[in-house]
Amino acid sequence: MASERDRSTRHIPLGDLVEELLGHEGPLPIVAAGDPVLRRGTEPFDGQLDPALLARFVAALRATMHAAPGVGLAAPQVGVPLRIAVIEDPAPVSDEVRLVRGRVPQPFRVLVNPSYDGIGPQRAAFFEGCLSVPGWQAVVARHAEVRLTALDEHGRAVDEVFGGWPARIVQHETDHLDGMLYLDRAEPRSLSSNQAAAELWSQPTPERAAEVLGFTLPD
């Protein structure tokens, strides 16, 4: 049985849905895990929003991402099943973390109709979280390097290789557009509250967590 919210939004034209969202002041409400919009996948963007509305929506996604705060946000996370995401990471981390995780600053980017392919066999495993799964983190093994193809908000082609933490962000946000949460790819035994992650597993790598919690990291 569909929820009241699901029934009320499924058949609304996307332009009208976005207009309604933008009619409220402040950051957009972030949808939590369990809402069907996070699992249905998304429509490719094909002009459903006119350029002015698209620009306003992108600005709202960016403001919401900053307020959360987070380093990426996908349209389904604010209830809009459209294949658009934004990313931005100032990477306020120590030099040690920067080196181990490859977390380098990323400028603001809009990803329209993105997809990615892993490059090579190397996988990197680290704790990550999600604005739609507040309060929790888990270790996810992802491609260490990916090739992203997309459009930007002006319709220009993007074809770029990402490594390190930026590659993780790209994969996480693109997965949202395919109806996937990071928990679908996570090591279940690593699941930790934010408090436990901060107090016990704040090391640059999850090797200690793997040893104590009893899970295996990729070679």
The pTM of this model reads 0.93
Residue 219's pLDDT band, with cuts at 50, 70 and 90, is confident
Contact, 113 vs 104, CB < 8 A? no
- Cα–Cα dist 216/209, whole Å: 10
- Cα–Cα dist 164/98, whole Å: 9
- Cα–Cα dist 138/136, whole Å: 7
- Cα–Cα dist 169/120, whole Å: 18
- 36-68: pLDDT as tens digits: 999 999 999 999 999 999 999 999 999 999 999
- Cα–Cα dist 186/165, whole Å: 16
Residue type for position 140: V
24 is in an annotated binding site: no
Residue 183's pLDDT band, with cuts at 50, 70 and 90, is very high
Name the average pLDDT for the chain: 95
Beta bridge partners of 142: 124
> Edge-to-edge strands of the sheet including 84-89?
72-74, 84-89, 106-118, 145-151, 157-163
Rounded mean pLDDT of 20-34? 96
| Per-residue pLDDT, 11 | 73
Residue 216's pLDDT band, with cuts at 50, 70 and 90, is very high
Contact, 96 vs 204, CB < 8 A? yes
66 is in an annotated binding site: no
| Per-residue pLDDT, 3 | 45
Q: Is the pLDDT of residue 211 over 70?
A: yes
Question: Is position 173 annotated as part of the catalytic site?
Answer: yes
Taking alpha carbons only, the member of 17, 34, 7 closest to residue 79 is 17
Catalytic-role residue among 88, 128, 173, 187: 173
Q: How many CB atoms lie within 10 A of CB 184?
A: 11
Q: Is the pLDDT of residue 74 over 90?
A: yes
In the block, residue with structure tokens 């409220």: 24
Q: Which sign, positive or negative, has the C-alpha torsion 51, 56, 161, 171?
A: negative
| Per-residue pLDDT, 191 | 98
Residue type for position 211: E
11 is in an annotated binding site: no
Residue 12's pLDDT band, with cuts at 50, 70 and 90, is confident
| Per-residue pLDDT, 10 | 61
DSSP annotation of 82: B
Residues sharing a CB contact under 8 Å with residue 14, sequence separation 6 or more, in sequence order: 43, 48, 49, 80, 81, 82
Burial of 178 (0-12, 13-18, 19+ CB in 10 A): middle
- 110-133: pLDDT as tens digits: 999 999 999 999 999 999 999 999
Domains of the chain: 4-186 (3.90.45.10)
Percent of the chain, pLDDT > 70? 95
- Cα–Cα dist 182/64, whole Å: 20
